[in-house]
Structure formats: structure tokens, C-alpha cells
Amino acid sequence: MIVVSNTSPITSLAAIGYLNLLHDIYGTIIIPVAVCEEMTGLGYSVPGTI
């Protein structure tokens, strides 16, 4: 199964150390560019980024 994810499940699972669950359950995870940019903080500190 292929899943397209937004920021919330990725940052929430990463915060508790279970980010691998998305891959374990769904296999392929697609992260849109906008979500990736939001999570990485675009070079500055953003709460909840990984």
C-alpha cells in the first residue's frame, strides 16, 4: 500500500521514537515537498520539526 502523509503523523511518531511504524504498516510512504519543507524547518528552528 502507498500512503501520502501530512506532517502530523510523521512528527508525532518521530517524537515518541516510532517513526518506523509508518513503513512497517504501509510500506511506501510519500512525503510531499511542502510537508518535507515544513518538517525540516527550511533552515531555521521550528517547533515540532525532525
Chain segment 9-28, per-residue pLDDT in tens: 888 888 888 989 988 999 88
Alpha-carbon separation of residue 10 from 21, 27, 40 (angstroms): 10, 14, 12
Residue 10: Cβ within 10 Å count: 20
The Cα 25–Cα 33 span in angstroms is 22
Mean pLDDT score of the chain: 82
Sign, Cα dihedral of 31, 35, 38, 43: positive
**45 pLDDT exceeds 70?**
no
Contact between 39 and 7 (Cβ < 8 Å): yes
